A and B are shown apart, each in its own frame.
Chain A
């Protein structure tokens, strides 16, 4: 079981208030992603849950029990660090065995769990190596192995993929997803990468300056961002945020149109010149200037379109998919 509840949790470092009062519930078995730009407090929040930092006020409950003053070792949570944080003086086997040794798990059971974890993570041939002899991806798998053998109430991941190269990152993302599907254990995952958040999460928590901007499933956030910050942060490429006359026509201070919700047609409100055309094969992203709007408009077209720099295009946003925001940046229903 691993239901985690934060009640009016705050954290200050000296006079600096990093986390204002914050409430959040993470259900048992949920894959919850904390996402936000760097310095938004997402890692601090994770460290508060882990117990590596003390909360300044409020309460953290794990399965209903107040764990606010419980040391990290006793919270029953496992953590995977950005730097992997393996023990360099121990073999892979001993690294994985360490939490079980600390918990006093009998040797026979230890061996069984190590073998199972090594098999699941493709580490069987590397058990007697030191972490220094492994590649980044293998080290990350050892760190995950060390976390799963404890059978924790919840897993905490602190930007676990940011030290890996792009190809490995996609692979590990899927492995972690598979792991969650298999174990059905609560996972809390911190990242600054909204693609990771969108692809992995059951629930995304968008943070800015310690405040929760919005909580919801990936598609809820995509379809109905609560404010301009979430609108700009979720989705790739970024949503076009347009102010001025075009917005006023829709009765809003700002309107948002996702690049994939703009069609290139013969008749539409915006006609402009293609600046940069990014041909990805599957998609083409056009950055269109001089449409009469102050902002450059990004459009997602199919992969095979032949537009190039300097071409004239006419754009039509899909009216029913335009997001409207008021003067305070909040969504207008």
Chain B
């Protein structure tokens, strides 16, 4: 039902939305602003909003002190690898749950989600030991697998929701047309689910990119991604807010840009199935 929205009401809604948006964005904005300040201005009291001497000094120091590109590369490999591996495993899993459900399908879906309720630190010790045992500590391979497993329930859930929207008759038609299971998934299901798969990939790439617990605990130098890059600037020997902010800005910039250009996909992905 269309409801009459008065212009006043509309103005209030708009103002409220902007307020919430700005509140959420403010810490990021503050981090970016701080990265252009000197260390003294960064801790000035009262805080300086815009009237400071803009400098790129922090970025120069951060570049000199650490190899940004190697951290970036690790982040790309870990986030990208775990997402792709996860999707490869989740597509057949979601296919079977959506199109040939058994009595237990709902239980399996809930059980998978329940693993997300487990505090990560609860399994840190065993996983740490397994990594040592397999010689995978501080390796990208270990993080690809671990982050994939952590995000797999979300990937399966998202794909399951998308696949449920695809009419089963079309898949049956492909079976009648002589397609085996592999051809059915490859030529019919996947192309039809491309929008859904794309937003799933996007969301999980962001989740994996931002994941800090496992990446910080299981890496040292070789496999350290951008989360470790930021952490290395919150050092105990003194607070360097401006440099920490510069490092943070550099770490979140790629994902921020990616998110900006794909926001339509993301919103569609997150609200899919909820609104028809």
Contacts and interface: CB of A to CB of B under 8 A. Distances in A.
Interface of A: 50-52, 71-74, 77-79, 81-83, 85-89, 98-99, 102-103, 146, 150, 156
B177 A71 contact: no
A89 B175 contact: no
B127 interface: no
Interface residues of B, number: 18
Contacts of B169: 81-83, 85
Interface stretch (B77-85, B178-186, B216-224): B178-186
A71 B179 CA distance: 10
A78 B170 contact: no
B207 interface: no
A52 B175 contact: yes
Contacts of B173: 79, 81, 85-87, 146
Nearest to A73: B178
Given A87-B170, A102-B183, A79 B191 contact: no
Contact of B177 (A51, A82, A88, A99): A99
Give the 6 A-B residue pairs with the shortest CB-CB distance, closest first: A102-B178, A85-B173, A99-B177, A85-B169, A79-B176, A89-B191
Interface string B189-220: 00110100000000000000000000000000
Contact of B175 (A71, A87, A146): A71
Contacts of B187: 98
A321 B239 CA distance: 105
B178 A150 contact: yes
B106 to A, nearest CB: 16
The B interface is mostly helix, strand or loop, or mixed, namely: helix
Contacts of A156: 176
A73 B179 contact: yes
Contacts of A71: 175, 180
Given A52-B172, A78-B177, 10 more contacts: A51-B175, A52-B175, A71-B175, A72-B172, A72-B175, A73-B176, A85-B167, A86-B170, A87-B192, A89-B191
B8 to A, nearest CB: 41
A75 to B, nearest CB: 8
Nearest to B166: A88
A81 B170 CA distance: 9
B180 A85 contact: no
B188 interface: yes
12 contacts: A52-B176, A71-B175, A73-B176, A79-B173, A81-B169, A86-B173, A87-B170, A87-B188, A88-B170, A89-B191, A89-B194, A146-B177
B167 A98 contact: no
B172 A102 contact: no
B194 to A, nearest CB: 8
Contact of A78 (B176, B183, B191, B194): B176
B41 interface: no
B174 interface: yes
B177 A102 contact: yes
Contacts of B175: 51-52, 71-73
A150 B192 contact: no
A79 B183 CA distance: 18
Nearest to A74: B178
A27 to B, nearest CB: 22
Interface string B157-170: 00000000001011
A74 B177 CA distance: 9
A91 to B, nearest CB: 12
Given A85-B167, A85-B170, A99 B192 contact: no
A132 to B, nearest CB: 12
B181 to A, nearest CB: 9
B167 A83 contact: yes
A103 B174 contact: no
Q: Which of B172, B176, B187, B188 has the most CB of A within 10 A?
A: B176
A81 B177 contact: no
Nearest to B194: A89
A187 to B, nearest CB: 15
A98 B172 contact: no
Contact of B176 (A72, A86, A87): A72
A65 B226 CA distance: 63
Contacts of A89: 191-192, 194
A81 B172 CA distance: 9
B90 to A, nearest CB: 20
A98 B191 contact: no
Contacts of B170: 85-88
Contacts of A81: 169, 172-173
A77 B178 CA distance: 9
A78 B172 CA distance: 11
B174 A50 contact: no
Given A81-B173, A83-B169, A103 B178 contact: yes
Contacts of B172: 52, 72, 79, 81, 85
A87 B167 contact: no
Contacts of B174: 87, 98
Contacts of A51: 175
A83 B170 CA distance: 9
B182 to A, nearest CB: 11
A86 B62 CA distance: 56
Contacts of B191: 89
A82 B194 CA distance: 25
